[in-house]
Amino acid sequence: MTASTPAPLRTDRAGLLARLAEPRHYDVAVIGGGATGLGVALDAATRGLRVVLVEAHDFAKGTSSRATKLVHGGVRYLEQRNFPLVREALRERQILLRNAPHLAQPLPFVVPAYRFWERPYYGTGLVLYDVLAGKAGLGRTRWLDTRAITARQPGLRTQGLRGGIEYWDGQFDDARLAIALARTAACAGALLVNHCAAVGLIREQGRVAGVRCEDRETGRAYAVRAACVVNAAGIWVDAVRRLDARVEAAQDTLLFSQGAHVVVSRDFLPGDRALLVPRTRDGRVLFALPWMGRTLIGTTDTPRPHQELEPRPLAEEVDFLLGEAGRYLARAPGAADVSSAWAGLRPLVRPAGHASTKDVSREHVVRVDSDGLVTVAGGKWTTYRAMAQDTLDACLDAGLVQSAGPCVTADHPLVGAAPGRHSIGDAPGLWGYGGEGDAVLALPGAGRELGGGLTEAMVRFAARHEYARTVEDVLARRSRLLFLDARLARELAGEVGRLLAEETGAEAGAGAFRELADSYLRWPADASSSGTTSFSR
């Protein structure tokens, strides 16, 4: 640890629950520990408010750990002419890269052109992207001839290649950013408790006055009173609204779209640039990008009828991603090359009319119900901070919160904020800890690697300072091994479970994690079938 880096706070479970049991009246209680909820907790705490947040599972367990790992303005929104959303996202991209340089970094992209019109058409759009970014731009868009693009992006199919474009966007580690948000909010005084489910709303004189919650480990119930309750439960916001029987018949706020991803060897796309295909056969954007020593390919846009805690990629989605990638890569990946396949559900704000999910806006809404419940829905990771600011402003405008200071999160570095030791594209290691790297190295087992870049010390740090309770918490979100190599993650479950039990004194769920890891190595044959497709090597 350097003199300028404070020692990391302990996240002792018994201490957190003891604080939750105190008869304290909070200014803001947040339901949901994904990107939006954590952003709200940090915004509120840094405005000087008394804040508590509860999350039913782990921070970023749902959609917030399953993004395409991009901090971006939304290239495809240019074609939709949604320039305000693009401008907002580009502004927020700059803020995020500045406040968390150890977890978010600039990344160059190449757009190959195989038809004569693609280079001028997409190049013009990306120049407009630069113009909209203004001073928040990360690098100048360049027009590339065939020789230049193949030099910059090895692994491209060269047959019929007519050059292309290079532009810049951002990349990040979504789950570790969520943990950093939680820890930064805690440093500002907020109480955050994961694995603690909201099971009811406290009502007084017809108004929402708090949250009833239950510790998932012990079953103990807690009553948390707050002047303002914010429903930031992501894909579960309608379920939280229905905790109040009076809204049972209300129209759903959200509809759901699934985005599937596959991970293959870095050999398929070597180098340090990402690939963007602006228009796939279904009209979406396809990305292939370097991520932690592998190549991440995504994503799809498949309408889903309801929310799921563990959405699975469908066989048709995996086939689509591999097939589309094969049209642009010199060596086409197949099912046997996939080391992990996973999906996330996008919480899209339901439009007034009928629209394809890929055409539904990614903008967010904040609604204050007549009983005082505040719900924030929609949006995307890049704009989480702006969503949180809008939510707190809405609470203030409604008179639910008094005497709050101004929003300061645009200039509030996150825990560990220091340039990483490596880029996010590199193999896993200490890069994600930033200024806390020395604190990890000071723990027992710093020199003992378990596998995939994960050390014994990292597991201990996760338990002591990062709210980790289960093997899944460590192998899915404190490290990203489940999303990178599900087979290796499965092999490490026993040892990680042993270390967690030593640190926490609780059973860490190694058996349940092995079953989960198995599911990342197979996918349902279709949306309704119980049959699965699997692969082996």
pLDDT given for residue 528 in this prediction:
46
Q: Is residue 420 part of a domain?
A: no
Q: Which residues of 497-510 are buried (b: 16+ CB within 10 A; e: fewer)?
A: bebbeebbeeebbb
pLDDT given for residue 2 in this prediction:
47
Please give the residue that has the higher pLDDT: either 537 or 9.
9
Entry field: residues in the chain:
537
Looking at the fold, whether 159 and 267 belong to one and the same domain comes out as yes
Last residue of a domain, one of 350, 369, 401: 350
CATH number assigned to the domain comprising residue 106? 3.30.9.10
Lowest mean pLDDT of 215-229, 281-295, 438-452, name the range. Answer: 281-295
Q: Is residue 76 part of a domain?
A: no
Q: Is residue 405 part of a domain?
A: yes
Looking at the fold, whether 243 and 264 belong to one and the same domain comes out as no
Looking at the fold, whether 194 and 339 belong to one and the same domain comes out as no
Say if residue 370 is exposed, middle or buried (CB neighbours under 10 Å; 0-12, 13-18, 19+): exposed
pLDDT given for residue 323 in this prediction:
96
Q: Within 10 A of 472 (CB to CB), how many other CB atoms are there?
A: 24
Last residue of a domain, one of 330, 350, 370: 350
Looking at the fold, whether 443 and 498 belong to one and the same domain comes out as yes
Q: What mean pLDDT comes out for the span 87-91?
A: 93
Count of structural domains within the chain:
3
Q: Which residues of 49-71 are buried (b: 16+ CB within 10 A; e: fewer)?
A: bbbbbbbbbbbbbbbbbbbbbbb
Indicate the pTM of the whole model.
Answer: 0.94
Q: What is the pLDDT of residues 357-378, one digit of tens each?
A: 454 555 789 999 999 999 999 9
Q: Is residue 536 part of a domain?
A: no
Looking at the fold, whether 330 and 237 belong to one and the same domain comes out as no
Looking at the fold, whether 156 and 279 belong to one and the same domain comes out as yes
SS3 239: helix
Extended strands (E) in 447-536: 449-451, 454-455, 522-524, 532-534
Is the pLDDT at 80 greater than 80? The verdict is no
Average pLDDT, rounded, for the chain = 91
Q: Is residue 313 part of a domain?
A: yes
Q: Is residue 96 part of a domain?
A: no
What does the block give as tokens for 82?
Answer: 């949604």
pLDDT band at 529 (very low <50, low <70, confident <90, very high): very low
Looking at the fold, whether 274 and 167 belong to one and the same domain comes out as yes
Looking at the fold, whether 332 and 474 belong to one and the same domain comes out as no
Is the pLDDT at 94 greater than 50? The verdict is yes
* 96 contact partners, CB below 8 Å, separation of at least 6: 71, 104, 170, 172, 177, 382, 385
The alpha carbon dihedral of 119, 123, 125, 126 has a sign of positive
Q: Is residue 301 part of a domain?
A: yes
What does the block give as tokens for 114?
Answer: 């195989």
Q: What mean pLDDT comes out for the span 225-234?
A: 97
Last residue of a domain, one of 332, 350, 368: 350
Looking at the fold, whether 303 and 438 belong to one and the same domain comes out as no
Q: What is the pLDDT of residues 396-429, one digit of tens each?
A: 999 999 889 999 999 999 999 987 667 888 888 8
Q: Which residues of 297-334 are buried (b: 16+ CB within 10 A; e: fewer)?
A: bbbbbbebeebeeebbbbbbbbebbbebbeebbeeebe
C-alpha–C-alpha distance, residues 506 and 450, integer Å: 21
Please give the residue that has the higher pLDDT: either 417 or 528.
417
Strands 51-54 and 191-193: parallel
Residues 383, 64: contact at Cβ < 8 Å?
no
C-alpha–C-alpha distance, residues 404 and 257, integer Å: 36
Looking at the fold, whether 167 and 259 belong to one and the same domain comes out as yes
pLDDT given for residue 3 in this prediction:
43
The whole domain housing 462 covers 430-523
Looking at the fold, whether 262 and 308 belong to one and the same domain comes out as yes
Is the pLDDT at 99 greater than 70? The verdict is yes
Q: What is the pLDDT of residues 318-348, one digit of tens each?
A: 999 999 999 999 999 999 999 999 999 998 8
pLDDT given for residue 426 in this prediction:
86
Q: Is residue 85 part of a domain?
A: no
Torsion of Cα atoms, 522 then 524 then 530 then 534, to 10°: -30
| Paired residues of 165 in beta bridges | 111, 143
* 151 contact partners, CB below 8 Å, separation of at least 6: none
pLDDT given for residue 83 in this prediction:
86
Looking at the fold, whether 205 and 246 belong to one and the same domain comes out as yes
pLDDT given for residue 200 in this prediction:
96
Q: What mean pLDDT comes out for the span 264-280?
A: 94
Residues 297, 320: contact at Cβ < 8 Å?
no
pLDDT given for residue 306 in this prediction:
86
> Where does 22-163 have alpha helices with state H?
35-46, 75-79, 83-99, 118-133, 146-152
pLDDT band at 537 (very low <50, low <70, confident <90, very high): very low
